[in-house]
Amino acid sequence: MLRFDGEVVVITGGANGLGRSYALEFARRGAAVLVNDVGSAHQGLAAEPAAAQRVVEEIVAAGGIAAANDVSVTSAHGGEEIIADALDRWGRLDVLIHSAGVMRDRTLAKLEFTDLDAVLDVHLKGGFHVAQPAFRAMMTQPSGGRIVMTSSTSGFFGVFGQAAYAAAKGALAGLSRVMALEGARHSIRSNAIVPVATTRLSRGADPGASRPPEDVAQFVVALCHRSCAATGMNFAAGGGWAGRMGVEVGPGFALPGGTAEDITANWDLVQRLGFEEMADGFSIGPYIDERLHEG
Ligand X SMILES: NC(=O)c1ccc[n+]([C@@H]2O[C@H](COP(=O)([O-])OP(=O)(O)OC[C@H]3O[C@@H](n4cnc5c(N)ncnc54)[C@H](O)[C@@H]3O)[C@@H](O)[C@H]2O)c1
Q: Render the burial of 117-132: b for 16+ CB within 10 Å, e for the rest.
A: ebbbbbbbbbbbbbbe
**Per rule CB under 6 A, is residue 74 in the interface with ligand X?**
yes
Coil, strand, or helix at residue 192?
Answer: strand
Nearest to 150 by CA among 236, 245, 269: 236
Residue 16: CB minimum distance to ligand X, A: 3
Give the integer Cα–Cα distance in Å for 130 and 122: 11
Q: Considering beta carbons, is residue 205 or 265 the nearer one to ligand X?
A: 205
State the alpha helices, DSSP H only, in 120-162: 126-139, 153-157
Residue 121: CB minimum distance to ligand X, A: 7
- Subset of residues 166 to 205 that bind ligand X, contact rule: CB under 6 A: 195-197, 199-202
Is the distance from CB of 234 to CB of 153 less than 8 angstroms? Answer: no
**Residue span binding ligand X (CB under 6 A) among the ranges 67-75, 139-147, 229-237, 278-286:** 67-75
Of 4, 7, 9, 19, the one binding ligand X (CB under 6 A) is 19
Active site residue 287: no
**Per rule CB under 6 A, is residue 119 in the interface with ligand X?**
no
Give the integer Cα–Cα distance in Å for 33 and 13: 12
Of 16, 176, 190, 191, the one binding ligand X (CB under 6 A) is 16
**Per rule CB under 6 A, is residue 101 in the interface with ligand X?**
yes
Nearest to 199 by CA among 9, 19, 12: 19
Angstrom distances, CA of residue 139 to CA of 146, 190, 214, 220, 236: 11, 13, 30, 22, 27
Of 10, 31, 32, 38, the one binding ligand X (CB under 6 A) is 38
Of 25, 27, 99, 116, the one binding ligand X (CB under 6 A) is 99
**Per rule CB under 6 A, is residue 17 in the interface with ligand X?**
yes
Give the residue nearest to ligand X (CB): 17
Which residue in the list 165, 219, 235, 253 is annotated as catalytic? Answer: 165
**Per rule CB under 6 A, is residue 152 in the interface with ligand X?**
yes
Q: Which residues is 236 bridged to in the sheet?
A: 194, 243
Degrees (nearest 5) of the Cα angle 51, 190, 210? 50
- Where in the sequence numbering do the catalytic residues fall? 165
Q: Which residues in this chain contact ligand X in the complex, by CB under 6 A?
A: 12-13, 15-19, 36-40, 42, 44, 72-74, 99-102, 122-123, 150, 152, 195-197, 199-202
